[in-house]
Amino acid sequence: MERTILHCDLNNFYAGVACKKDPGLRGKPVAVCGNPAHRHGIVLSKSQEAKKYGVKTGDVLWEAQQKCPGLIPVLPDFPAYLKFSREVQNIYRQYTDQVEPFGIDECWLDVTGSRRLFGDGAHIAEELRHRLVREMDLTISVGVSFNKIFAKLGSDMKKPDQTTLISRENYQKSVWPLPVEALLMVGRSTKKKLNQYGIYTIGDLARGSVSALEKLLGINGPKLRRYARGEDDSPVLRESELPEAKSVGQGITCTRDLRTPEEALQIIHFLAQRVSRRLRENRVMAGSLSLYLRRSDLSGLCHQLHFVQPCRSSQELAQAAWELLEQHYDWELPIRAVSIQAGSLRTEDGPCQQALWDLQLPLEQQERLEAVADQLRRRFGPDSICRASLLSRPAVPEIYQGDFSVLPGSRV
């Protein structure tokens, strides 16, 4: 049976949620962006009214305000985005259990088995668009096709609040003239390589030589050619089939550059506390830890270590990150941003080899201690209990919204 795949993309999602929270913003040019005082003044989302002035995602706030003098900047609210994203997905699941998130505001739906109940793909897409406007006051663009790649492409072709059908009969006419970078997985670097060999459109890619593309891009060359020819058979995964997250990370751009190891240690403890909490919430342990540093000149470096035994204690995570910093950073330049990432995740109930000469608190006691601290933070706020060194956080933004860096589509 020919598959029917939908790709639903919430239009200007962050700005739409801002207008839901504050109806007074409706019909006005709105840009969701970070706080310039905290060095996060980048436009994350914009309303249609701001878009008419040429405001784009990724613009620096002052550039966006030059394009649109009446622009209204709004701080992001990630808990609200997660809440509304889940509510939208619950509506999708009323039509099919095959709903695969692709980031916080996009989902694929396989409605092949739902057509007898709800009509063909285009009809379901129209019904979803009208329901989201009526029930959520949000709009989506929907691509309808016979595979995931073309469905995703379709949702990008007409915005906002539109449905685009790409069928086997019309895809060569509608898809092949598009620029090659419109295809999923063709980024800036891949586009440059393809353009150098005279491949400018998706049709050029579809007609390309398999051997030449493999020589140019490795195994991705033939894969992209198949995508361009509509030969994608990857399934839409159910929630139970989604891959487990490979890592849990937390990063922050500091409000000022870090110039001493003591300042860096303060940020490391701040990040480790949050990563540790999320590891416990999701009942996983970390087998490795990576430390990412961005210098004041925006250059970056990354170092990693593996734990002798899996852990998730904030103390152990911070100690590991501190060791990496001491071993590898020369302090020729101050540090602008810090991230730590716990990787090689495993379930908490798996076998665990204890260290022979462990002089720290027993594992069970340390776990209980940090679990109680988590409960206190949930009840009285994130800063109700913390290390004394974090009582004055000069380099941490007052409104900290970075606690959602889990890989898109994962279950952690």
What is the C-alpha to C-alpha distance for residues 239 and 160, in angstroms, rounded to an integer?
A: 27
The one-letter amino acid code at 136 reads M
Contacts 24+ apart (CB under 8 A), 376-385: 377/277
Three-class secondary structure of residue 382 per DSSP: coil
Name the phi and psi angles at 208, rounded to 5: -70, 165
> In sequence order, what E strands does 117-246 have?
140-145, 163-165
Catalytic residue flag (residue 398): no
- In this structure, the number of other CB atoms found within 10 A of the CB of residue 358 comes to 11
Q: Is 263 exposed, middle or buried (0-12, 13-18, 19+ CB in 10 A)?
A: middle
Name the phi and psi angles at 116, rounded to 5: -70, -25
User: Distances in Å between the alpha carbon of 382 and those of 248, 396, 402?
Assistant: 18, 14, 13
What is the C-alpha to C-alpha distance for residues 54 and 67, in angstroms, rounded to an integer?
A: 7
Residue 213 gets which letter from DSSP? H
Q: List, in order, residues 6 or more apart from 45 with CB less than 8 Å away.
A: 12, 13, 14, 15, 31, 32, 57
Name the phi and psi angles at 61, rounded to 5: -55, -45
Residue from 100, 106, 316, 370 carrying the catalytic annotation: 106
Instruction: Let me know how long the chain is.
Output: 412
What is the C-alpha to C-alpha distance for residues 206 and 224, in angstroms, rounded to an integer?
A: 8
Residue 42 gets which letter from DSSP? B
**Catalytic annotation, residues:** 106
